[in-house]
Amino acid sequence: MSDFPASWQFRSPRTRLALWFGWLCLVALFVWCWQVMNENTIWMFVQDAPRQAADIGGRMWPPRWSYLGELMVPLWDTLNMATLGTLLGVILAVPVAFMAARNTSPFPLLLRPAALFVIVASRSINSLIWALLLVAILGPGLLAGIIAIGLRSIGFIGKLLYEAIEETDIRQVEAITATGASQAQILHYAIVPQILPAFWGITVFRWDINIRESAILGLVGAGGLGLKLQSSLNTLAWPQVTMILLVILATVILSEWVSAKVRGALI
């Protein structure tokens, strides 16, 4: 009568087989990729790495504190680059977000896919690549960095903002529509107040990320702390590298704290 199994099994034999096969495929793929990737690796360098690390570590210590004074202007440039870049990103991203959101897109058939493409394209290209291109076009300097940060921010702000717009409460829109409001008035009184907290939260969050990114954009010539990092690396001035890294770390921690505080106050 009772044909219960003698012992409890977590999964059915079939699923277990499929799972094992899946894991086997993953391991095989990993081994193959490892082989292809390491075709040209010189293992002598890898064995040597602990010694190299100790060597670099020895050269990096102590940090050159007197260099701190020289870093103040690049630090200010880095902060400006992040802030102005975020501003540019916001200005460009807001219309894109309204075009991408299903409920506010003025011409959904054509504009929505176009806006979504802008968002994906902006997100898939790192700000360092944007900077690389813009330095080649505009010449080295802060302007290239600002535009790179701005273009990269469109995707992030646009994506989060359009999701926030799609999540707005429809009843408020209906209430405003019932008063006979025009399209612009609906936007202004029904949608904007609902997404404003999300908007400020997203902006501050992106500003925090942009501080991190702008600190290294100088590596490809876009000004700020990265430029100093590049020149110190090129001249093998390791104590200066340590100093720059400390300044970057301090800035990043500070900006994270500021952004957490502001977001805490908003939400």
Q: Is residue 191 within the footprint of another protein (CB under 8 A)?
A: no
Nearer to another protein, 99 or 244 (CB): 244
Cβ neighbours for 38, distance < 8 A, ≥ 6 positions apart: none
Nearer CB in complex with another protein: 24/121: 121
Provide the residue type at 187 as one letter. Answer: L
**How many residues bind to another protein according to rule CB under 8 A?**
55
Separation between Cα atoms, residue 101 and residue 218, nearest integer Å: 35
How many Å is the Cα radius of gyration of the chain? 26
Among 100, 165, 215, 227, binds another protein (CB under 8 A): 215
Cβ closer to another protein: 95 or 197? 197
Sign of the C-alpha dihedral computed for residues 53, 59, 64 and 67 taken in this order? negative
Q: Which amino acid is residue 2, in one-letter code? A: S
Rounded-to-5 percentages of helix, strand, coil across the chain: 85, 0, 15
Q: Which of 170, 256, 164 is nearest to 206 (CA)?
A: 256
Give least dist CB 65 to another protein, A: 20
Is residue 237 a contact residue for another protein (CB under 8 A)?
A: no
Distance in Å, CB of 107 to another protein, minimum: 23
Q: Is residue 212 a contact point for another protein (CB under 8 A)? A: yes
- Minimum Å distance from CB 222 to another protein? 12
164 binds another protein (CB under 8 A): no
CA 145/CA 210 separation, integer angstroms: 11
* Segments in 139-235 forming alpha helices (H): 142-166, 170-178, 183-186, 192-217, 225-234
- Does residue 100 sit in helix, strand or coil? helix
Cβ distance 144 to 77 under 8 Å?
no
User: Which member of 18, 121, 192, 260 binds another protein (CB under 8 A)?
Assistant: 121
If DSSP codes are grouped into helix, strand and coil, which group holds residue 213? helix
Q: Which is nearer to another protein, 190 or 216 (CB)?
A: 216
Using CB under 8 A as the binding rule, the residues of this chain from 35 to 64 that contact another protein are 36-38, 40-42, 45-46, 49, 52-53, 56
Q: Which is nearer to another protein, 2 or 124 (CB)?
A: 124
Helix (H) / strand (E) element for 190: namely none
Contact, 161 vs 179, CB < 8 A? no
**Least spacing, CB of residue 1 vs another protein, in Å:** 27
Coil vs helix vs strand at 12: coil
Q: Which of residues 125-154 bind another protein (CB under 8 A)?
A: 125-126, 128-129, 132-133, 136-139, 141-143, 146
Interacting span for another protein (CB under 8 A) from 63-71, 77-85, 94-102, 164-172: 77-85
Q: Is 172 in the site for another protein (CB under 8 A)?
A: no
- Which residues of the chain form contacts with another protein (CB under 8 A)? 10, 26, 29-30, 33-34, 36-38, 40-42, 45-46, 49, 52-53, 56, 76-77, 80, 83-84, 87, 120-121, 123-126, 128-129, 132-133, 136-139, 141-143, 146, 212, 215-216, 219-220, 233, 245, 248-249, 252-253, 265-266
